[in-house]
Amino acid sequence: MVLAQLGGSISRALQQMSNATIIDEKVLNECLNEITRALLQADVQFKLVRDMSTNIKKIVNLEDLAAGHNKRRIIQQAVYNELCKILDPGKPAFTLKKGKPSVVMFVGLQGSGKTTTCTKYAYHHQKRGWKPALVCADTFRAGAFDQLKQNATKAKIPFYGSYTESDPVKIAVDGVETFKKENCDLIIVDTSGRHKQEAALFEEMRQVSEAAKPDLVIFVMDSSIGQAAFDQAQAFRQSVAVGAVIITKMDGHAKGGGALSAVAATKSPIIFIGTGEHMDEFEVFDVKPFVSRLLGMGDLSGLVNKIQDVVPMDQQPELLQKLSEGHFTLRIMYEQFQNMLKMGPLGQVFSMLPGFSAEMMPQGREKESQAKFKRYMTMMDSMTDEGNTNPKILTESRIMRIARGSGRLVHEVMEMLEEYKRLAKIFSKMKGLKIPKKGDMSSL
């Protein structure tokens, strides 16, 4: 993902600075120049970048910092804070209540990824115990209903639409009514887009909104327009009460950072980002964990979210409970490898672990990691249950037995155990993590 490159450049700049024997003004300036260059490349507005750099220099007054101060940490914290500031719309995201019927209307230009995102949004919530439904009120684009129908069927989400009705207002109202009767608690209305912002689009949006009375209007936009997102987001906000924004195609465009910061500047909270064409290439967007991940500092709340996506719902509470108690056994590692293999893009998961970045798992190398996971799993298969839950009892002779049993070499078993130790250390950071209660898995 392109953001991984941005994160990589910033982390590298910080790392290079840390490697310097003495952190003086020259070293700090070099570091800030690198960060500035990376942000400008991601199309973040020049003024925002310049202000960020000025603020950091103000906060990190090297002359005033006594020798004992950890300058590296102070600078890293200042970079983190300033990046959060750029991305913070200063307004919390609107939350919906599970169990109570809510109507969410999606608006955006044609091609922005609106229809795809409607299904991703429904799917995300379905995984968290909501009862979503999709209504296709896009009568403008030929094939829109078929597309929604196809996506909805794949995700086993009920849908409503019509091949013959040409009035989007009527479809929206009928669809919402139908699903309210069926006790759906998240009724998603997909509306028409146009190639460009035009009066007809805004008029139709207003009419559908008046009739369907949405609890939340989500504006979907394509990240490739970079900082031009500011004008587009403003125009939609002025026509309809946009409560939240989803930015799509963050996987393919160098201008993602520009789009994120430009939308934040319109004071609209971004709630999700789309990171691919598939249903699960969709991530909750939350400023602090996002920046933390960007800087390679991990994102444990994102990890909890990912667990909710990947781990079957009935196993989630137990796993989260165990992790929050600091238990990470080989059995848990085995089950998680199984889940990860099912899940696909490992890079996304890795980027949420502290000490990793998505860059460390380039797409081409995923196959390699999958093969490694499978190898580890074969070794774990030839371990006794006792060893699986308590790796401390694995003596040298047991390790040799495991190697023989799985047709692997002793050093490979050792490597697997090292991997376990490393992951256990990472997961130990989840100890004490606040885990979402049942029925409270997602408030978005």
Q: Which residues form the interface with ligand GDP (CB under 6 A)?
A: 108, 110-116, 193, 248-249, 251-252, 274-277
Taking the complex as a whole, the smallest distance from the CB of residue 148 to ligand GDP amounts, in Å, to 9
CB 233 within 8 A of CB 120: no
Q: Which is nearer to ligand GDP, 29 or 197 (CB)?
A: 197
Minimum distance of ligand GDP from residue 235's CB (angstroms): 16
Nearer to ligand GDP (CB atom), residue 277 or residue 325: 277
CB of 24 to ligand GDP, least distance (A): 43
Structure tokens at 131: 């009862």
Cβ closer to ligand GDP: 283 or 299? 283
Q: Least separation, in Å, of the C-beta of 155 and ligand GDP?
A: 14
Q: What is the smallest separation between the CB atom of 343 and ligand GDP, expressed in angstroms?
A: 17
Cα 125 from chain centroid (whole Å): 14
Give the chain's radius of gyration (CA, Å).
24
> How far apart are the C-alpha atoms of 412 and 403, rounded to whole Å?
8
Q: Which is nearer to ligand GDP, 283 or 286 (CB)?
A: 283
Provide the minimum distance between the beta carbon of 206 and ligand GDP in the complex, in angstroms, as a whole number: 19
DSSP H stretches of helix in 284-365:
287-294, 300-310, 316-324, 330-343, 346-350
Per DSSP, the three-state class of 216 is strand
> What residue type is assigned to position 236 of the chain?
F
Nearer Cβ to ligand GDP (192/292): 192
Task: Using alpha carbons, list the distances in angstroms from residue 433 to 71, 304, 335, 429.
Answer: 29, 9, 20, 8
Instruction: In angstroms, give the least distance from the CB of 151 to ligand GDP.
Output: 8
Q: How far is CA 45 from the centre of its chain?
A: 23
Name the residue whose CB lies closest to ligand GDP. Answer: 274
How far apart, in whole angstroms, are the C-alpha atoms of residue 413 and residue 335?
18
Query: From the centroid of its chain, how far is CA 403?
Result: 38
Short-list 227, 263, 224, 226, CA closest to 245 = 263
Nearest C-alpha neighbor of 278 from the set 345, 366, 346, 219? 345
Compute the least distance from the CB of residue 109 to ligand GDP, in Å.
7
CB of 190 to ligand GDP, least distance (A): 7
Which is nearer to ligand GDP, 251 or 309 (by Cβ)?
251
Strands 244-248 and 216-222: parallel
CA distance 360 to 301: 20
Cβ pair 267, 298 in contact under 8 A: no
Return the number of the residue (278 or 411) whose C-beta is nearest ligand GDP. Answer: 278
d(CA 442, CA 127): 10
Compute the distance between CA of residue 12 and CA of residue 8 in angstroms, rounded to an integer: 6
CB of 312 to ligand GDP, least distance (A): 25
Least separation in angstroms between residue 112's CB and ligand GDP is 4
Strands of the sheet with 159-160, listed across from one edge: 159-160, 132-137, 186-191, 102-107, 216-222, 244-248, 270-274, 282-284
End-to-end alpha carbon distance in the chain: 24
